[in-house]
A and B are shown apart, each in its own frame.
Chain A
Amino acid sequence: EAQVTQNPRYLITVTGKKLTVTCSQNMNHEYMSWYRQDPGLGLRQIYYSMNVEVTDKGDVPEGYKVSRKEKRNFPLILESPSPNQTSLYFCASREAGVLETQYFGPGTRLLVL
């Protein structure tokens, strides 16, 4: 079954405590991205990756890091989380240049105290 998985699904943490949200896809997709979803603001892209070792900033990259060492994995790193990073996070993947193949993960709900 084609899928994007994220872990953890729910996370409560405190300000400044580094955390990583993992993302993995089993479709051999080149393109992967991270979004955050906030009420009234919709889905906003944080970072994206066109392929292994190729990453670039999206619209709201401040406070986040990513890496793409393997094609299937695209972890999101919050080095020093702050309360304004409390949000619902989605990982997505698709074939490069083929919008209609985009799959989203199930989401990670993060609360930063």
Chain B
Amino acid sequence: QKEVEQDPGPLSVPEGAIVSLNCTYSNSAFQYFMWYRQYSRKGPELLMYTYSSGNKEDGRFTAQVDKSSKYISLFIRDSQPSDSATYLCAPSKGGATNKLIFGTGTLLAVQP
């Protein structure tokens, strides 16, 4: 079993839709939960992150972690064509090396 599972998509939505992107994980020691966005032919860039459980909001984006069910979510409100990218979840246990374990990514296409 992979430590982090993520539906690869592709997920196609119309502009303005609410998007829900999700990951599940198996390691209960994960404490940090990162979301990266990767545009085509570019390196991943950090979108937002949370520590432990709960929600975090940043503009149109909300990250949510449910440690009891080992479920990570990223919500995008009022989605825009510029949100079209691959979204990668990446939890970490923290510690000296703070190793990130990446999901395979979900490809999102927002249609104008």
Contact = CB atoms under 8 A, between A and B. Distances in A.
Interface of A: 4, 31, 35, 40-45, 48, 50, 56, 58, 90, 92, 97-100, 102-107
B interface: dominant SS:
loop
Interface in B66-112: 88, 90, 92, 94, 96-100, 102-105
Name the 9 nearest CB pairs between A and B, nearest first: A104-B43, A43-B102, A42-B104, A42-B102, A104-B44, A99-B98, A106-B43, A107-B43, A90-B43
B46 A102 contact: yes
Nearest to B90: A43
B57 interface: no
27 contacts: A31-B97, A31-B98, A40-B104, A42-B102, A42-B105, A43-B88, A43-B102, A44-B102, A45-B99, A48-B97, A48-B99, A50-B97, A56-B97, A58-B99, A92-B43, A97-B96, A99-B32, A99-B34, A99-B49, A99-B94, A99-B98, A99-B100, A100-B49, A102-B46, A106-B43, A107-B42, A107-B43
Interface in B42-60: 42-46, 49
A46 B86 CA distance: 21
Which of B42, B92, B97 has the most A CB atoms < 10 Å from its CB? B97
A98 B96 CA distance: 10
